[in-house]
Structure 1
């Protein structure tokens, strides 16, 4: 399975690199991922239709032109809308468009047909339960854009090449136990993110960070009623949580960027998440929350670091913020996201959020909010320091804050410093499997430890130079400053200097210098010039 997955990933990435030409990577990402998605929808439609038609001795390709074509298509449409959430006719399948584009060994003009098909996929859902999940999904595939080529023929030639190359790849959707294509799709998103610089933070969390967050919120659980990401990007975090448990009943997310919002919905569907099981909204989470009446068992997020927000005084009457007495500053929305997420967290839930280190020690309103979360609510369960330079587009060190409303160890907070545990891969730092395991094993040990313990027992649970279980009293004595070095001692004592050895080395160095000076003086004498000293 791993070999098949790697082969598919490489095939898709090769197509992307071969056909992109001079187009910006961000722009081509939207096209290649969109066409992969179109092929996925087509193949799912074909397989499902063939399954339904099998008792009648028919295949989907034989329906158009059949004497009962209208009745068969109507029945297939109703079944597909319920099961898949959309409908495609046989003549609208990806394979058919790819065939027509290369008919007779020459590029045939298919742009207008392709545009109609993509529009029809969205229109087929109108009035059905899946309408919100498929609406405007292909709006970023602008087939009239000059980015595809100067002339209509140039655009058509590029699109036909893309379809032809993709048509040759077997997505292996018949294997229902495999999620090879979903993983390959995720791989492509990650590859585009790695080359997107600062923009990558808008839509992608590196897989190793996603793994840490998802494992943290699923400790002690093998199924979840719900998982939520208020800044869901491409949905990688939500989907990663699903890999850590047997079942997730419902996925919820909100994403402000329309293109990324479309990418997230595609990603959900590509991972075979039924449209009834996810609810992704396109809106600003802080300004216009879309799920404010719901509470979630697991919450994961990688909000944009120190983003700006309105911090409008009207929010002081908002249930998410009112109890704190202060709003996060307009120049740094980090704690506004934390407050929002805490509000949405179920009593039995766990929340893990990636934030810049500044949230651990900055004062003013942020210090006030931090103190309230610890002293008055006692929700903070763990603080985990990550290595610098593991996110695309920024090299700053980051941390993970873990929150629970029903904490097992109400008098303690776990601190982990994993900032020195990573592997450098090209220009990025990367958390290895053993680095992830060390974080999660340390947190699990903390969670599974005895509920009642004294301050001395807590301190004994520290892993030298790596972790420390602090009491709330210690945190209060530090004025609720959570800067990790205050709790985890990573100081490395230097070896004592042997002054006698240093003296001997200096004498030897002086002798060498005198010998060198004598050699230079002799050369100068032979040349009849003055010495430089």
Structure 2
């Protein structure tokens, strides 16, 4: 089976299992359960592979397979402890043989066997086993959103036990194929599920998911000039998918940084990192309000990407004018539109040779007041705006508004102009959503790389032109998308109307004749 076929099969299997919970609880909630259990199974299988390949390899028969150890067997205990000690240091967590996913799933299949207490204890043990270790922050409270006592998954403990045991059993039958180190099929399938949940989660989807093609666009932009990154940062990282896309597009990323305000989404981001085989020492994801309590002050990053919540509320406290992120501009973004505040925050953290790409609503391109002041400062004083890319409407879950990608660089190669690209027509209608396709992505990236005028698609605007437009960046001011209407042949229209009139008169006469034959009053009689 090819990798592509394997991925499609795994996607189908996982989605079918997710549907066991669909209809019983909301999309947000069954997402937390199914993704949490997939992650637990991944941890179990990864742990057994680590134990057998790294610690137990070469041991005598009967002592070379961690999954077959018995915690009650005194001969096995020293091996178990040795594996756990090394695992905490190497992969960041530890499990006992009776805590492995397969063991719990197997016990759940047995009639009248209650496993919820053991499952809850196991998930808690994974978290607490890292206390005092380097990986503590990456595993702390990681499974908080899996509430095994919730009546949403069953009215009684037995009902809940039956539901969870069924899900575990189905997952247990799936081969995650972790032995294939060249493939990331499980990671791709996990991303697929996150996307599917986003499509059904309405407005809440924006909290954790950026469509894959948009993520790829941002990732390719920030890695175009530097494919080996010391660091990448997302101040509103959601599920971490955008950061992982940068890692995939780059030749190497040494360290991943992110911040996320929502606790559930923060947990999902950490799971996503670990499941994509990012070592616990290679990512630093924090939970906090980025604008109010930034967690990475003092750090500078080679690449920054973000899809902040559109036009979010924030404090806009005047005291923030003393904050070094905002002080130079003399103005703060409006309380009801934090978009520019995110730009200022990100730019403050950008390395001098770095690239920053951020998705924003179109309003940031032309709104006045304090946003206009900030926009002018970015272009006139700092000269950091490198490109403006207009995206189609309705490509983000939960909102139909058109969006744009703004690209910033501190030391710009093209420092006398700004590139504008109008990709608003680059989409395919897919159900209720519009979608960027690979060919659309290629067209945008080709125009970004070429940096040349292209009829009705791209324009390189000198800074003087932007100044003449009072620093209004509305894309139609720079990319002429006017389409001349076809000439109207008035004589042909007049002839068609005359023919229609004659046809109507013939029809009226025919109806009147039928009415006379039937002895009824014609609708055309006076």
Tell me if both proteins adopt one fold, taking TM over 0.5 as the criterion: yes
Residue 320 (structure 1) aligns with: 325
Q: How does 1:352-371 map to 2 (within 5 A)?
A: 352-371=357-376
Aligned counterparts of 1:130 and 1:233: Cα–Cα separation in 2? 20
Q: Deviations over 1:285-314 (max 9, x none)?
A: 000000011111111100000000000011
Q: Deviations over 1:28-57 (max 9, x none)?
A: 110111111000000111111111112222
Is 1:443 the counterpart of 2:435? The answer is no
Aligned counterparts of 1:94 and 1:107: Cα–Cα separation in 2? 19
Secondary structure of the 2:348 match is helix
Residue 116 (structure 1) aligns with: 121
Aligned counterparts of 1:283 and 1:511: Cα–Cα separation in 2? 74
Residue 504 (structure 1) aligns with: 495
* Contact 2:67 2:100 survives alignment (8 Å): no
Given the alignment, which residue of 137, 141, 144 partners 2:142?
137
Aligned counterparts of 1:107 and 1:253: Cα–Cα separation in 2? 44
Residue 14 (structure 1) aligns with: 16
Residue 106 (structure 2) aligns with: 99
Report the alpha carbon displacement of residue 71 of structure 1 after superposing the two structures with TM: 2.6
Q: How does 1:402-417 map to 2 (within 5 A)?
A: 402-417=407-422
* Contact 1:107 1:160 survives alignment (8 Å): no
Is 1:383 the counterpart of 2:400? The answer is no
Structure 1 residue ranges without an equivalent (≥5): 447-460
Residue 253 (structure 2) aligns with: 248
Residue 519 (structure 1) aligns with: 510
Is 1:83 the counterpart of 2:75? The answer is no
Residue 230 (structure 2) aligns with: 225
Secondary structure of the 1:226 match is strand
Q: How does 1:270-349 map to 2 (within 5 A)?
A: 270-349=275-354
Residue 55 (structure 1) aligns with: 58
Aligned counterparts of 1:188 and 1:78: Cα–Cα separation in 2? 33
* Contact 1:422 1:429 survives alignment (8 Å): yes
Q: How does 1:133-212 map to 2 (within 5 A)?
A: 133-212=138-217
Aligned counterparts of 2:409 and 2:67: Cα–Cα separation in 1? 54
Residue 495 (structure 1) aligns with: 486
Aligned counterparts of 1:405 and 1:478: Cα–Cα separation in 2? 23
Report the alpha carbon displacement of residue 108 of structure 1 after superposing the two structures with TM: 0.9
Secondary structure of the 2:455 match is coil
* Contact 2:355 2:408 survives alignment (8 Å): yes
Is 1:127 the counterpart of 2:132? The answer is yes
Q: Deviations over 1:414-472 (max 9, x none)?
A: 000011111111111000100000111111112xxxxxxxxxxxxxx311111111110
Secondary structure of the 1:54 match is coil
Aligned counterparts of 1:70 and 1:42: Cα–Cα separation in 2? 18
Residue 453 (structure 1) aligns with: none
Report the alpha carbon displacement of residue 21 of structure 1 after superposing the two structures with TM: 4.1
Aligned counterparts of 1:69 and 1:238: Cα–Cα separation in 2? 41
Report the alpha carbon displacement of residue 530 of structure 1 after superposing the two structures with TM: 4.3
Is 1:351 the counterpart of 2:356? The answer is yes
Once the two structures are overlaid, the 10-residue window that deviates more, 13-22 or 275-284, is 13-22
Secondary structure of the 1:243 match is helix
Aligned counterparts of 1:445 and 1:55: Cα–Cα separation in 2? 57
Aligned counterparts of 1:21 and 1:168: Cα–Cα separation in 2? 23
Structure 2 residue ranges without an equivalent (≥5): none
Aligned counterparts of 1:354 and 1:67: Cα–Cα separation in 2? 58
